[in-house]
Amino acid sequence: MQVWEMTNVSDKFHSLILTEQSEENYSYLRGEFEGHRIEKPWYPPSLKYLKKRANKSDAPKCWDINAPIFSERAVTALANFLENTSQLLPLEHEKEKFYAINVLNIVDGFDKQKSKIKYFNSGKIMNIEEYFFYCDKIENQH
């Protein structure tokens, strides 16, 4: 079984931020993307590139949205995996088509006891150095 970690290399690839950095925009998005379908009307937030000289990415980091962001090309390529496990939410951008991926298929398969984890003094996770999973829980999941 293989488990993949999605990471961003923000110094080499485009990253995104909200066009309007306002508390209203942040509060609109706060509390979303927690494994449940967004039922209220979706008003696509407007995004812009943070660095224009970086390379294009099909999964750019968005500093203001706590969800994976995929280009239209990535959504097309991953359609079979996203179809029954995610909600695709369009985002506004001046040149590209991007979607926030609201993951609905949340599986409690992470074995915290066996994993090597570094914590902040507050008790929040700083870094996971080695991952362990409950194989029976994540089998056939994507």
In contact, 50 and 63? CB cutoff 8 Å: yes
Beta bridge partner(s), residue 88: 101
- Residue 138 φ/ψ, nearest 5 degrees: -100, -5
36-55 pLDDT, tens digit per residue, is 998 888 889 999 988 776 78
Indicate if the alpha-carbon torsion angle 90, 93, 97, 103 is positive or negative: negative
- Give me the residue spans of the domains in the chain: 15-103, 107-142
Q: What is the pTM of this model?
A: 0.81
pLDDT score at 10: 62
Give the model confidence (pLDDT) of 64-83 as tens digits. Answer: 888 899 999 999 999 999 99
Which residue from 101, 44, 53, 54 is spatially nearest to 75, judged by alpha carbons?
101
